[in-house]
Copies of this chain bind each other. A is one copy, B any other.
Amino acid sequence: MQGSPPVDSGTTAWMLTSTALVLLMVPGLAMFYGGLVRTKNVLGTMLHSFAAMALIGVFWVVAGYAMAFGPNVLGGWIGWNGDLMFLEAADAKIMDEGVPEYVFAMFQGKFAIITPAIIAGAFAERVRFRGYCVFICLWAVLVYTPLCHWVWASDGFLFNLGAAGAIDFAGGTVVHISAGIAGLVAALYLGARRGYPGTAMHPNNLVMTLIGAGLLWVGWFGFNAGSAIASDLQTAQALTVTQVAAAAGGLAWMLIEAAHHGRATSLGVASGILAGLVVITPAAGVVQPKGAIVLAALASAISYGAILVKNRLRYDDTLDVFGIHGVSGIVGAVFLTFFIRDSWMSAAASEVGGSWGMLDQLWVQLAGVGITLVYAGAVTLGLLVLVDKTVGLRLSEKGEMAGMDHSEHGEQGYGMLNAG
């Protein structure tokens, strides 16, 4: 193809790797979530992640990418480029970054897969598989794709807000806040699990949860450092703050637990790692290690508090999707403002041909967060009602008691527990 920029084999190599790493987050998430539910729901919960891979994996190629990264239509509510259906127009295209567009499309596709998979934690242990499948497909079309378009497409309105756009490096709003609020709405709409909160429900496999947290950490390197669509200094900066934030988040949660209960737990360390990774997601392109440590500590502390509040309010966000992804995502998207690299701020200032201060950016960030919360929350509620009334979303009481593995899938997670 003449006239197209040459492929940069190094950048392409890193973007291919990043795509593989983000894919690793899906089994990682399945393990993280799967270990936290009760034994009778372990497969069903893991299938929520795997079904997202299958369903959204196909949808993204068929039409999702064309919607998210096509030019504005319907007043910018969404994009559309029919030639990108089945990625046909991307077949030989090299992007300006020297990366084949296919790779970018696949990398972005992983984000579209993981976001609904994250939501699933909020209504774990009480949802019908069929209804879940329909729900996430609709959600991908009506919530994820528009948000993705607004924030990351070059003509998206949040991408162009303020001096240099609402900062969302790797998906703080698009992925984590949107999943968090959707989870919260879903948890409230579907109601608590049978017996909650009176009966405490035991994680079936914290060992697996811990391994899942480890894989998520590894995969997040692709998630964040891949979002630079480069293999250069900015990539390195993103990777560094990702690593530091994960460590600092885990450490902070450990210390908080030690102060609060006199002992640290493995679930606490895993949760802190996750909070640190979430908080740095929007910020990875603009903050330095010191800022990353502060943000991660803040995220752990506020998420910890948010979960205590949830327990008071007694709503059943089963795996704390809002408490961790929502809250830490908001903390990141908002507080990153105070830790932006000077060079970014001065570039932003020269962009608007004048001055651009922290407060200016703060409003932009708050706008981004607010719009995400309202849009994702409202549309999610509509979809929940729709799916619930048509296909059915809430598991029957009998099915819930028997467990999703038995009632929805006719399987058993750990056959080894049967003697013989």
Q: Judge whether A106 is part of the interface by a CB distance below 8 angstroms.
A: yes
Q: Are A233 and B7 in contact (CB under 8 A)?
A: yes
A101–chain B nearest beta-carbon distance, Å: 8
Distance between Cα atoms of A195 and B269 in the complex (Å)? 31
Q: Closest B residue to A214 by CB, please name it.
A: B27
Query: Which residues 184-217 of A have a CB within 8 angstroms of B?
Result: 202-208, 210-211, 213-215, 217
Q: Judge whether A129 is part of the interface by a CB distance below 8 angstroms.
A: yes
Distance between Cα atoms of A254 and B51 in the complex (Å)? 9
Distance between Cα atoms of A58 and B17 in the complex (Å)? 26
Q: Are B9 and A221 in contact (CB under 8 A)?
A: no
Q: Are B411 and A100 in contact (CB under 8 A)?
A: no
Q: Which residues of chain B are near A31, meaning CB under 8 Å?
A: 211
Q: Are A46 and B11 in contact (CB under 8 A)?
A: no
A114–chain B nearest beta-carbon distance, Å: 12
Q: Judge whether A231 is part of the interface by a CB distance below 8 angstroms.
A: yes
Q: Which residues of chain B are near A217, meaning CB under 8 Å?
A: 23, 27, 53
A410–chain B nearest beta-carbon distance, Å: 6
Q: Which residues of chain B are near A290, meaning CB under 8 Å?
A: 86, 88
Q: Which residues of chain B are near A160, meaning CB under 8 Å?
A: none
Q: Are B263 and A408 in contact (CB under 8 A)?
A: yes
Partner of A410, one of B214, B265, B289: B265
Main secondary structure of the interface of A (DSSP, over half): helix
Distance between Cα atoms of A231 and B251 in the complex (Å)? 34
Q: Which residues of chain B are near A231, meaning CB under 8 Å?
A: 7, 9-10, 12-13, 16
Partner of A26, one of B46, B61, B214: B214
Chain A 382-420 per-residue mask, 1 if CB under 8 angstroms from chain B, else 0: 000000000000000000000000001111111111100
Q: Which residues of chain B are near A94, meaning CB under 8 Å?
A: 233
Identify which of A68-76, A166-174, A242-250, A321-329 touches chain B.
Answer: A242-250
Chain A 217-259 per-residue mask, 1 if CB under 8 angstroms from chain B, else 0: 1100110010000111101110110011011101100100010
Chain A 34-67 per-residue mask, 1 if CB under 8 angstroms from chain B, else 0: 1000110011001100110111111001100000
Q: Which residues of A contact B (CB under 8 A)?
A: 7-14, 16-17, 19-21, 23-24, 26-27, 30-31, 34, 38-39, 42-43, 46-47, 50-51, 53-58, 61-62, 86-88, 91-92, 94, 99-103, 105-106, 109, 129-130, 202-208, 210-211, 213-215, 217-218, 221-222, 225, 230-233, 235-237, 239-240, 243-244, 246-248, 250-251, 254, 258, 261, 263-267, 269-270, 272-273, 288-290, 293, 341, 408-418
26 A-B residue contacts at CB 8 Å? A7-B232, A7-B233, A12-B231, A12-B232, A12-B235, A12-B236, A16-B17, A16-B225, A20-B222, A24-B214, A27-B210, A27-B214, A31-B211, A47-B210, A53-B217, A54-B254, A54-B272, A58-B248, A58-B293, A61-B244, A91-B237, A100-B233, A103-B239, A106-B243, A204-B416, A206-B413
